[in-house]
């Protein structure tokens, strides 16, 4: 069972989960803000809407398409994850 770090908090999730599922299981729905400060979170769950972006190990990813790996560090509300 992989252990992730979400905003510095250790969370264990089932193998095969997406990062988005790990976040939602931890009760996290808002992942970032728009440029105007509106809260943003996952909508489609299949890689189309781009609303689930977050930093995973320093890279901007769509969390719904990113599988969990042991030791990942997830950062929410990060610079560079705004709307364009």
Under rule CB under 6 A, residue 32 binds ligand FES: no
Three-class secondary structure of residue 21 per DSSP: helix
User: In the bound complex, what is the minimum distance in angstroms from residue 26's beta carbon to ligand FES?
Assistant: 16
Please pick, from the candidates 26, 50, 60, 76, the single residue that binds ligand FES as defined by CB under 6 A.
Answer: 50
- Reported as type and span, the H/E element at residue 25 is helix 19-25
DSSP single-letter state for residue 20: H
Provide φ and ψ at 24, rounded to 5°. Answer: -65, -35
Query: 6 or 51: whose CB is closer to ligand FES?
Result: 51
Give the interface with ligand FES as residue ranges (CB under 6 A).
42-45, 47-52, 62, 64
């Amino acid at each position: 069972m992989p252990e992730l770090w979400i905003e510095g908090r250790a969370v264990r999730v089932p193998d095969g989960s997406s990062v988005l599922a790990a976040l939602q299981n931890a009760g996290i729905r808002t992942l970032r803000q728009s440029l105007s400060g509106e809260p943003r979170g996952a909508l489609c769950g299949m890689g189309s809407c781009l609303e689930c972006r977050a930093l995973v190990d320093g890279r901007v990813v769509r969390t719904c398409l990113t599988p969990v790996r042991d030791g990942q560090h997830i950062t929410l509300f990060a610079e560079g994850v705004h709307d364009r």
